[in-house]
């Protein structure tokens, strides 16, 4: 288990007040009627005290998802030998901070230990293995999780079932069986199907809705669908398209959540790409805001420093709302504005691991706007000059920014 030194905790305590000057993403989301705004994290990152300070900033993050430490290979590396050490570190951090925990995930085709993928299974024996795994994990974290991603990425792009060990051995019934096992272990936790590329209409989104109907046809509880929302700058579906798609899910009497949001770009980043990224983040967040059954939004880690993107998509990156130096990017303002907090969005707090510079929007201010700060726009009464080295750049009639 990770333990923080007294000096590290003092640093976190000293940084947190600076991080909390603006309204914050979770504060704005909850004020607008959502359950949370949150982020994923992973155990290796928790040795970085500046990172942990912002992760623990509940103004921005009211929810945490463990990126890897609750997956099958991390929790049952040998059959019926369970280990929860890493998952408990993140669960304990969320509890200490008063943050919700979205637990992730129970059944997936990836990150399976070899004893699962190379085993000789029958329908009966693999069902027993799957149910045993689910029962152990959900029971261990009973009462700690807001939701579980029960089945993750069970579909191909054309909407057919993915050829996993689960589908090949058990058939589509593995999905309702998994949900039933999770519901039996913790009747109160929210149970989700989670997938990517189901954020817009098409065969895969239709198939995901059919999964909801399949589970419901078995008389089994399913509470929601998680839309991962791993997007590319300039190719993100429009807000209206995403909202219409979300409504097609909620029409099935389930909630929806944006569960793994990031928006990557081809590097290097430019002012134009960062501006478009801000717009794209606002489209996805805005679609959730317009959907009564969209309970919350989770970004897939909050800083480019720890993003999964560069290792998976060579030449691409800069996908998160904070940069490698833990400094807010234009995307942060785009998200905050889409959450409806226009007052805080016009008072930009620029944060590094040890310092904070705030540009106020108060009338008559003689200060200069910091990097990424607002410097113009309709009815703007704050600073119109930028800190040395940055230029006030027009984004739209309502917003100009120091870039």
The pLDDT of residue 373: 67
More confident residue, 66 or 386: 66
Find all residues with CB under 8 Å of 153, minimum gap 6, and list them: 108, 109, 110, 162, 194, 195, 196
Eight-class DSSP state of 164: -
Task: With a cut of 80, say whether residue 187 has pLDDT above it.
Answer: yes
Helix (H) or strand (E) segment spanning residue 240: helix 239-250
**What pLDDT does 387 receive?**
76
| 4, pLDDT greater than 60 | no
**Stronger pLDDT, 19 or 183, i.e. the higher one:** 183
Mean pLDDT value across the chain = 88
List pLDDT tens digits, range 223-269. 999 999 999 999 999 999 999 999 999 999 999 999 999 999 999 99
pLDDT score for 388:
76
CA dist list (Å): 308 to 4, 234, 298, 305: 25, 20, 15, 9
Residue 344: what pLDDT? 62
Reduced to 3 states (helix: H, G, I; strand: E, B; else coil), residue 242 is helix
Q: 255-266: buried (b, 16+ CB within 10 Å) or exposed (e) per residue? A: bbbbbbbbbbbe
What is the predicted pLDDT for the residue at 341? 73
**Tens-place pLDDT, residues 318-377:** 999 999 999 999 999 999 999 997 656 655 433 333 333 333 232 233 467 676 666 776
Q: Which residue has the higher pLDDT, 152 or 378?
A: 152
Tell me which DSSP letter residue 72 carries.
H
Considering only residues 10 and 115, tell me which one the structure prediction assigns the higher pLDDT: 115
Please, what sign has the CA dihedral across residues 299, 300, 305, 306?
positive
The answer, yes or no, to whether residue 10 has pLDDT greater than 80, is no
Kindly list the distances between the CA atom of residue 193 and the CA atoms of 106, 141, 142, 232, 243, in Å, as whole numbers in the listed order. 10, 18, 19, 23, 18
H or E stretch including 244? helix 239-250
Active site (catalytic) residues: 260
CA distance 398 to 228: 30
Tell how far CA 136 is from the center of its chain: 25
Residues 6 or more apart in contact with residue 24 via CB below 8 angstroms: 57, 58, 59, 60, 344
Helix, strand or coil, per DSSP, at residue 339:
coil
Report CA dihedral (38, 39, 43, 45) to the nearest 10 degrees: -120
The mean-pLDDT minimum among 2-6, 133-137, 149-153 falls in 2-6
Give 152 or 21, the one with higher predicted confidence: 152
Q: What is the pTM of this model?
A: 0.82
Separation of first and last alpha carbons in the chain: 41
């Amino acid at each position: 288990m990770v333990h923080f030194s007294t000096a590290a905790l003092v640093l976190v305590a000293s940084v947190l007040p600076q991080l909390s000057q603006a309204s914050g993403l979770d504060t704005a989301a909850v004020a607008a009627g959502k359950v949370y705004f949150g982020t994923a994290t992973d155990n290796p990152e928790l040795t970085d005290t500046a990172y942990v300070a912002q992760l623990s900033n509940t103004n921005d993050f009211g929810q945490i998802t463990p990126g890897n430490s609750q997956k099958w290979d991390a929790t049952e590396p040998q059959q019926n030998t369970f280990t929860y050490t890493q998952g408990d570190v993140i669960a304990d951090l969320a509890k200490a901070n008063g943050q919700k925990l979205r637990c992730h995930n129970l059944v997936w085709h990836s990150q399976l230990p070899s004893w699962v993928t190379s085993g000789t299974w029958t329908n009966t024996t693999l069902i027993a293995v799957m149910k045993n795994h689910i029962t152990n994990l959900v029971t261990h974290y009973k009462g700690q999780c807001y939701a579980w991603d029960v089945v993750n990425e069970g579909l191909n792009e054309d909407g057919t079932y993915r050829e996993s060990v689960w589908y090949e051995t058990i058939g589509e019934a593995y999905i309702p069986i998994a949900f039933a096992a999770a519901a039996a272990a913790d009747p109160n936790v929210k149970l989700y199907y989670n997938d990517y590329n189901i954020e817009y209409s098409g065969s895969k989104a239709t198939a995901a809705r059919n999964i909801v109907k399949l589970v419901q046809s078995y008389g089994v509880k399913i509470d929601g669908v998680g839309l991962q929302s791993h997007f590319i700058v300039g190719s993100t579906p429009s807000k209206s398209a995403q909202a219409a798609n979300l409504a097609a899910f909620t029409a099935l009497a389930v909630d929806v959540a944006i569960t793994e949001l990031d928006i990557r770009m081809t590097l290097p980043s430019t002012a134009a790409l960062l501006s478009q990224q801000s717009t794209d983040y606002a489209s996805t967040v805005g679609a959730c805001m317009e959907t009564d059954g969209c309970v919350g939004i989770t970004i897939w880690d909050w800083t480019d420093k720890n993003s999964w993107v560069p290792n998976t998509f060579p030449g691409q990156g800069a996908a998160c709302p904070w940069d490698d130096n833990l400094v807010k990017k234009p995307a942060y303002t785009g998200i905050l504005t889409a959450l409806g907090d226009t007052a805080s969005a016009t008072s930009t707090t620029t944060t590094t691991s040890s310092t904070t510079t705030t540009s106020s929007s108060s009338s008559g201010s003689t200060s200069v706007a910091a990097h990424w700060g607002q410097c113009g726009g309709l009815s703007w009464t704050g600073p119109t000059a930028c800190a040395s080295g940055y230029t006030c750049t027009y984004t739209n009639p309502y917003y100009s920014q120091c870039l």
